[in-house]
Structure 1
């Protein structure tokens, strides 16, 4: 009798059953899609946010040692210790090497432009878009064009192999009336310096301190300063996950982590774990997270993932309300049938079982 009633309910109420099935299918599809988006949105947003600059800065270890006198920090070794340029490919050999989007080395010296006053200005040597060979014949591109794609140049970018091409910052160009195509004689300050004639290839707009400097290919500045193979700092752009309780604990001291926590922290792409691995790979350097960038990225990603979770829960609740509404309508329509069934001796649990079977 029970199975006969169950079969007849499907025959008589097939439209309602089809509507319920469609509701479940649509809700399941929506929830699955939103869950996939919420899982993947972190990586996609991290890649998009990388276009706004580096989130790690590498400097010589001596740069992190300073003396405070009267509220002012002094470092007698500042500018005296350098990073070996030959060690930079090791950045792509760390555990999270696939998360390294790019890096750019910098060598900054003081210089003056002949005929434009005696005041010195920063001359920054860097790579613009330079290929670097890695282990296994893999090629990786480095430079400021990779880690700062929002930088704009009026004119053209100098080639890294060009020893005379140079970029003038927009603010410096306005101040000294520098024009694209103009040739300038740049003199390095100090006894070890030399002078060189450069051709301005473009005017650089960044919205940062680079607008008050001259940017030249790294080998040209190294040659002028007689610092071949040396760099002062390296900016690294890396894909990271938002900070949490474990990473904040590791920031205070990685020695405070137990073995299980250390393994989890080391094998997660926190910005702090990536900087730790860089310090392991390159001797005598300190890798510092740029917390303004890293924290901002983490906050944006967390909010987007929370939004996806809320929308997923809303879809789940809406589908549940839809199914429950259909069940209530079915019960109201079949009130007489329920009464007759109970009058014939059916127990409450048998009535419940009938409707649960139909819902299932």
Structure 2
């Protein structure tokens, strides 16, 4: 009987119920949009912030071994040890390999630079790296990475240098980039020829003649150096197949108390905490896994970058949560006003039901059931609209769609129903104050 009455009652006052459902739908649309964005915005924002550079630096373990002598931090092994270039693929073979956006090795070679046929020469450094190099992986033979991936903010006036193919070791490296400050000091531009002669103790490599393909501006130390394919720096230093450091760009989640504790000492973690930390994309856990993958390597997060990313993403997600709560609160107040008006309009109906012996809980169940159905209908419509709005926002802001997990649907539906029920609590209390004699005689 109650279900029949509920079904018939649902079509009473259709305009007000439609307005209530529309109010809930608008709230559900906003909640769905913000929920989808909050779930996906972490990765998307992290990818956007990768344009500010790498957030992990991998170096030989000896680089982290310092000796304090007379108050001076001294490392006698600095720049003495190197890493094997052949081990770089292991960085993309860790548990969080899909979070590794890209990597770029570095090898610095001090050189003497002579410009074309001009007299005189200057001193500079050649920074060898990958620009857009193919690095064969066990599961992806065509994987490409380099500074063009992890440092998209680098500006090149001219063309990027060409790089040798890993399968063609006889290929000659002939083009380089010259930093903007060094180019101005040497008076060189794209198209000029340079002769690079290695300098330093024990270096016997022959001078190399190269062409400037472009002028590089980064705002960093590269502006005062020559940036070349890694193979050229290896030839100038005699360190074939070796690198001094690797810059890694990884997608991470904001640091919290657990990651801070692990950062101090993983030995302080319980087995459960360690598993949780290890299986979460904290920058510290990704760095730890890189150290496990490459022998004698030390991976250190660039905390200025990592902390900045985490703070921005965390604040954006907090903002989305606050806006969602505000939308739900506004919808609940709107529904409350509509339900209160509906109950007053149906006072005679309520009085008649009480006069015929209907219990208070039955009348409450009838009106709250109506409210629940209105919330469910409005929530379902809001989910559909919210998905469309989320996709529009994703394409408009990030240039790609938003992945909305299926769990969003039941969550938004439950929130919508609860919103209407919460908004109906105060109006429902009015029912208990209605007396059959008064309302049936029009005195209520």
Give the alignment's TM-score, normalised by structure 2: 0.76
Distance in 2, Cα, partners of 1:186 & 1:359: 79
Contact 1:192–1:225 under 8 Å retained in 2: yes
1:22 is aligned to 2:22: yes
Contact 2:262–2:269 under 8 Å retained in 1: yes
> By how many angstroms is 1:71 displaced?
3.6
Partner of 2:173: 163
Correspondence for 2:273 among 250, 261, 267 = 261
1:192 is aligned to 2:195: no
Partner of 1:83: 83
Post-superposition CA distance 1:125-146 (Å, at most 9, x none): 1111101111034421121111
1:62-73 equivalent positions in 2, closer than 5 A: 62-73=62-73
Partner of 1:128: 131
Q: 1:266 to 1:2 in 2, by over 3 A?
A: closer
Partner of 1:218: 230
Q: 1:6 to 1:101 in 2, by over 3 A?
A: closer
Contact 2:109–2:236 under 8 Å retained in 1: no
1:294 is aligned to 2:288: no
Q: Point out the more displaced range, 161-170 or 82-91.
A: 161-170
Distance in 2, Cα, partners of 1:179 & 1:39: 47
Query: What is the DSSP-based 3-state SS (H/G/I as helix, E as strand, rest coil) of the residue aligned with 2:177?
Result: strand
Distance in 1, Cα, partners of 2:199 & 2:274: 47
Query: What is the DSSP-based 3-state SS (H/G/I as helix, E as strand, rest coil) of the residue aligned with 1:139?
Result: coil
Distance in 2, Cα, partners of 1:43 & 1:112: 44
1:181 is aligned to 2:191: yes
Post-superposition CA distance 1:185-208 (Å, at most 9, x none): 222112314422221111001111
Post-superposition CA distance 1:3-60 (Å, at most 9, x none): 8876664454122122222333333333222211111110111111112110000000
Q: 1:25 to 1:69 in 2, by over 3 A?
A: same
Post-superposition CA distance 1:85-120 (Å, at most 9, x none): 111111111111111111111111212213686663
Q: Point out the more displaced range, 108-117 or 250-259.
A: 108-117
Higher strand share: 1
Give the alignment's TM-score, normalised by structure 1: 0.93
1:107-122 equivalent positions in 2, closer than 5 A: 107-114=107-114, 120-122=123-125
Correspondence for 2:262 among 241, 250, 255 = 250
1:318 is aligned to 2:330: yes
Contact 1:103–1:143 under 8 Å retained in 2: yes
Query: What is the DSSP-based 3-state SS (H/G/I as helix, E as strand, rest coil) of the residue aligned with 2:181?
Result: helix
Distance in 1, Cα, partners of 2:225 & 2:135: 26
Contact 1:169–1:211 under 8 Å retained in 2: yes
Query: What is the DSSP-based 3-state SS (H/G/I as helix, E as strand, rest coil) of the residue aligned with 1:31?
Result: helix
Report how many residues are paired: 360
Contact 1:116–1:176 under 8 Å retained in 2: no
Correspondence for 1:282 among 294, 302, 313 = 294
Query: What is the DSSP-based 3-state SS (H/G/I as helix, E as strand, rest coil) of the residue aligned with 2:213?
Result: strand
Q: Please list every run of 5 or more consecutive structure 2 residues that lacks an aligned counterpart in the other structure.
A: 165-171, 373-444
> By how many angstroms is 1:299 displaced?
0.6
